[in-house]
Structure 1
Amino acid sequence: MSVHVAIVYYSSTGTVHKLARAAAEGAEKAGAEVRLRKVAETAPPQAVDARPEWGRHLRDTADVAEAGHEDLEWADAVLFGTPTRFGNPAGQLRAFIDTTGPLWFGGKLADKVYSAFTSSNTAHGGQESTLLALANTFYHWGGIIVPPGYTDPVQFRSGNPYGTSCVAADGPPDEVALQAARYQARRVVDTAGFLKAGRAA
């Protein structure tokens, strides 16, 4: 019985995109059917144009499909990825989440597995508070939150039991961060698989 996993993320310059791709690899290796989806860019063109790497990343990921409500309905588990914005998820991701009221009201977001990952520009730039802020949404949805915890040796190297995170100012995610994202996704798939099999029994 295949587990359906949606990886829904926002990335302005590519850091979270790389974590999302690693999470997709981990989920696929665990046997899941995966949809990698970005949320729409809502920043004004002048803001994007002010940072060449931002515009470049938009062009480089033009082929990644945008997230829709059908992806959340389809999924048994959802991993959300976002950069940190003042200790909170990026506005672009929040804008997408804020459109899901009809799904929530219809009970279509309940009893799914949820997890999250992030990046910040500095080591203490709000990574944990961003992940905890996303968890507040999962509580309202009636979701089952699955963090990585300290359940694998890589977590003692990555240092974040709340969800995979990295420091964008240090450059692209290193192999430890990518391993942590793959592991987190595998843990999500395993848990969602147990739940799906239990419901079918």
Structure 2
Amino acid sequence: QHLHTTLVASAAHLAEGRPDLATKVLDQVGGEQPVLAVAAARARLAAGDPGGALRLLDPGGPVRGGGPAVLVRATLLRAQAAHTAGDTATARRLVVQAVAEARRERLRRPFREAGPWVEPYLAAVPPHHPPADAEPPPVLVEPLSGREHDVLLRLAQMMSTEDIAADLYVSVNTVKTHLKSVYRKLAVNRRNDAVRRARELDLL
């Protein structure tokens, strides 16, 4: 089962209030990919197992080496575990840490995904005032098509061109064509730059 399909299935089970099934789907994949560890921790937290969630979220554990979005989500889940345990001081400190990391990468989606518990903590975070000479936020040249967004999502998961093609049931040449279009619309020339720009534009 492909990584993206597994993550979607797990999220669907969680949305339906079935964290046990979400955990089961993720456990079938195995491995220690950071994005899987975060998803598994979210499922365990929803199932009432904060200890199991925190073991997965340990900075020296499976989440190590994950990208900024993975690390922000991991920090927010640790904050949620502290909040659930009534440790508001730790929750507040971790939310501030997540906000600081997210600001560097201009990430917003992890906070929308976190749920209503995080809102009071975010309200207490001091406002951020960028320097007057800061660069303006990037603008998308042209909207991505649905298939281009599918390719971009898998690009952010560090999948190879061949893996993306297999996952989407298209040819490698088709994926390359979509990638060229994505690069053009994001005004970049490399994969890493495309992922970073997409995060800045809140496309991931």
* Alignment TM-score > 0.5, same fold: no
Of structures 1 and 2, the one with the larger relative CO (CA 8 A, separation 6+) is: 1
TM-score (norm 1): 0.28
Q: Rg bigger for which structure?
A: 2
Decide which structure has greater strand share.
Answer: 1
TM-score (norm 2): 0.28
